[in-house]
Structure 1
Amino acid sequence: MEILDPALQAYLEQHCPPEPKMLITINRETHLKVLKANMLSGHYQGRLLSMLSKMLQPKCILEIGTYTGYATICLAEGLVEGGEIHTIEVNLEMEEMIRKNFKNSGFEDRIFPHFGDAAQIILELSDKNYDIVFIDADKKSNYAYFQLIIDQLKPGGVIIVDNVLWKGKVYNQANDTDTRTIREFNKLISTDDRVEQLILPVRDGIMLIRKKQL
């Protein structure tokens, strides 16, 4: 289920930059070959990620949850000269497709894929200071990831968290475990005085979390 009406979604896509050909290919291949293809960021959300990255001009990005690399490439579009993006995927079966997509993207030299447990890999990357972090992995770990990376996020840096409206369940009466977990995450972030946050009703809900300046 999408939060936005399909007609509105179509209108938004008609009035944003076109989906790059390379991403059209990844989009199509993901839907043909990969389970749960709805996890893909897609055209409109991808252009949002690209624009945010271009506005922030990041030197270092962390992505938790690579999937097929669509969002990774969108974020890489805004990297400054010499910038890099580190992306983590737990599913080793995705590695061949991910590496192929990065090789064909034109950003291969800036993208550093990591495969395995995200929490462990984040600790191994503890020398990095991030301008952007994109969290789109196992939802039960959202807050754990936030706590792990908040000190590595530069002041003024932004964390982007996907699926925070959870098919509309978080603001309805749903009370299943996943919904409660995401609802609690949203509440914890809204009361954390280290950051300021805003939820955008894009696809399944995107939260922007900006770390306050010192």
Structure 2
Amino acid sequence: MHFIPEEIDEYVIKHSEDEPELLQQLNRETHQKILQPRMLSGHFQGRVLSMISKLVGPKQILEIGTYTGYSALCLAEGLDPKGELHTIDSNEELFEFQRKYFDQSKYGHQIIQHMGDALDIIPQLHLKFDLVFIDADKENYSNYFNIIIDKLNTGGIILSDNVLWSGKVLDTKFNKDDLATPALIEYNRILKNDKRVETVLLPIRDGLTISRKL
């Protein structure tokens, strides 16, 4: 679903920073070999993630949902030279694919992969984060928020992807098997009303929320 005309979308991409060569390769290989390549952040959103990370200058980044590692590499561009990026995913089959690209980048030694359920792993990370990116199972977005908010430094940023869910967040009736849409509607409500954060929802791709801890 396009939230702006395709011609405008193309113009925006053309007049934004170019996609780095390594990420172009990762993008291509993901589309050639991996299921559901639309899950990839992609060129424009990747440059947005990179810019936000560079503005924050995080020492510790947490990513929930690695997929093939594209967004992790974008976020790593803003990492403090002595910082770390912890990325969590439950798909063991993608571990080596991710690692290959991480190690080809100059950030490989700073990126730490975790395999398993993020709700089990996060409490074991005895760290405070400056930047968190949530892009995993939509049903658990509110649970992720609740488990990371106390691990986020004051002034820290939570980025939440897919919060417009192809416009389904406007639906008033859901298929009983659709757990993601009502979960995202509730998550968006939480971010708007929780006094611990200030939030702006951007209509970038499928919706990207920026929440800053007060």
Same fold (TM over 0.5): yes
User: Which consecutive unaligned segments of at least 5 residues does structure 2 have?
Assistant: none
The 4+ residue runs of structure 1 with deviation greater than 4 A are none
Q: 2:78 & 2:35 partners in 1: Cα distance? A: 29
CA separation in 2, counterparts of 1:175 and 1:202?
Answer: 24
Q: Helix, strand or coil for the counterpart of 1:46?
A: helix
Residue 23 of structure 2 corresponds to 23
Question: Does the 8 Å CA contact 1:69/1:98 hold for their aligned counterparts?
Answer: yes
- The answer to whether the 8 Å contact 2:142/2:183 transfers is no
Q: How does 1:148-167 map to 2 (within 5 A)?
A: 148-167=147-166
Report the equivalent of 1:36. Answer: 36
Q: For 1:192 and 1:109, how far apart are their aligned partners in 2?
A: 36
- 1:60-84 CA-partner distances (Å, limit 9, x unpaired): 0000000000000000000112011
Task: Tell me if 1:189 matches 2:188.
Answer: no
| Number of the residue aligned with 1:79 | 79
Q: Structure 1 52/68 Cα, relative in aligned 2: closer, same or farther at 3 Å?
A: same
CA displacement, residues 149-172 of structure 1 (integer Å, 9 cap, x when unaligned)? 100100000000000000011124
Residue-pair matches, total:
211
2-structure distance, mates of 1:3, 1:121: 35
Unpaired stretches in structure 1, ≥5 consecutive residues: none
Residue type of the partner of 1:43?
H
Deviations along 1:98-157, one digit per CA (max 9) or x if unpaired, are 1101111221111001111111110110x1100000000000000100000100100000
Identity %: 49
TM-score (normalizing by structure 1): 0.96
* 2-structure distance, mates of 1:202, 1:208: 11
* 1:31, distance to aligned residue in structure 2 (A): 0.4
Alpha-carbon offset, residue 189 of structure 1 = 1.4
Residue in structure 2 matched with residue 171 of structure 1 by the alignment: 170
Tell me the SS of whatever aligns to 1:156. strand
